[in-house]
Amino acid sequence: MAPSVLSATAETGSFRRPRRPRNDICQYDDLVGEWWRPDGEFAALHWLARARSQLVPPSPSPERLLVDVGCGGGILGAYMQGYLHVGVDLTQSALEIAAARGVVPVRADAAALPLATGVAHVVVAGEVFEHVANLEAAVAEVSRVLRHGGVVVVDTISATRRARLALVALGEWLPGGPPRRIHDPKLFVAPARLVDLFARHGVELRVGGLRPSVVDYLRFLVRRDRAVRMLPSRSVAGVYQGVGHKQRL
């Protein structure tokens, strides 16, 4: 992490960060001061985390294990309680932020989770599949650590021209859009492919599209004082969510 970047963020609310290749993991170190700024570079991650949390079933016991793959700064924890929340991520600086918010941090690649088979009641993978080089291995690992009857909740970005326009060409320049160069659109994930990969591991995934509320987004543009609701969309050509159960034995 770069202290000069952090202080620039705190003092001015905006900062210049190094120009890095698309999807370079070091960008999350550059952006470490942004995780919990609701109107900052990761604003949309807060909107998405809230929508994601609504797909997670309530936990009957705080001992139930929720594994948050690619947890980043642990934003999901703000919208969801009741679980033992274990966060897995490659970025140490993000894990430190998550740990300070009550997430149990595990530094690892989504494609090789250092967790026992069938240990998790819920596995969440929010806005991470579009960043991983080995999607097949990541889906296999998410499915492996999930217990039979357990729930998986995911959201990611569709491999479409519309998503490239909305979330890269245009979106990276819009307030509330993704940080510049954070995505490599070559890694965007077709919904049918994700459904197929999960099906190979006994998880039947149902997907649905998401879009920001236009009214909320216009208000965010003007006032930046309130989160934007993510609403169901008939189209899965942009951001989409998936929820599935692992077959019982």
Ligand X SMILES: C[S@@+](CC[C@H](N)C(=O)[O-])C[C@H]1O[C@@H](n2cnc3c(N)ncnc32)[C@H](O)[C@@H]1O
What is the rounded CA–CA span in Å between residue 15 and residue 171?
19
Check binding of 152 to ligand X (CB under 6 A). no
Segment near ligand X (CB under 6 A); pick from 6-14, 66-74, 145-153, 203-211: 66-74
Q: How many residues bind ligand X (CB under 6 A)?
A: 21
What is the rounded CA–CA span in Å between residue 2 and residue 28?
11
47 exposed, middle or buried (CB, 10 Å; 0-12, 13-18, 19+)?
A: buried
Contact set for ligand X, span 43-62 (CB under 6 A): 45, 48-49
Hey, which residues does 243 pair with through a beta bridge? Answer: 153, 206
Check binding of 228 to ligand X (CB under 6 A). no
Among 33, 40, 72, 191, binds ligand X (CB under 6 A): 72
What tokens appear for 192 in the block? Answer: 């049918």
DSSP 3-state of 162? helix
Among 5, 109, 159, 239, binds ligand X (CB under 6 A): 109
What is the rounded CA–CA span in Å between residue 24 and residue 144?
27
- Cβ distance to ligand X smaller for residue 105 or 126: 126
Site string for ligand X, 23-42 (x = CB under 6 A): --x--x--------------
- Cβ distance to ligand X smaller for residue 30 or 89: 89
Question: By the 8 A CB rule, do 154 and 126 touch?
Answer: yes
What is the rounded CA–CA span in Å between residue 224 and residue 226?
6
Among 5, 51, 65, 94, binds ligand X (CB under 6 A): 94
What tokens appear for 157 in the block? Answer: 């970005």
Among 85, 121, 131, 164, binds ligand X (CB under 6 A): 131
Check binding of 65 to ligand X (CB under 6 A). no
Residues of the shown chain interacting with ligand X in the complex, contacts defined by CB under 6 A = 25, 28, 45, 48-49, 70-72, 75, 89-91, 94, 109-111, 126-128, 131-132
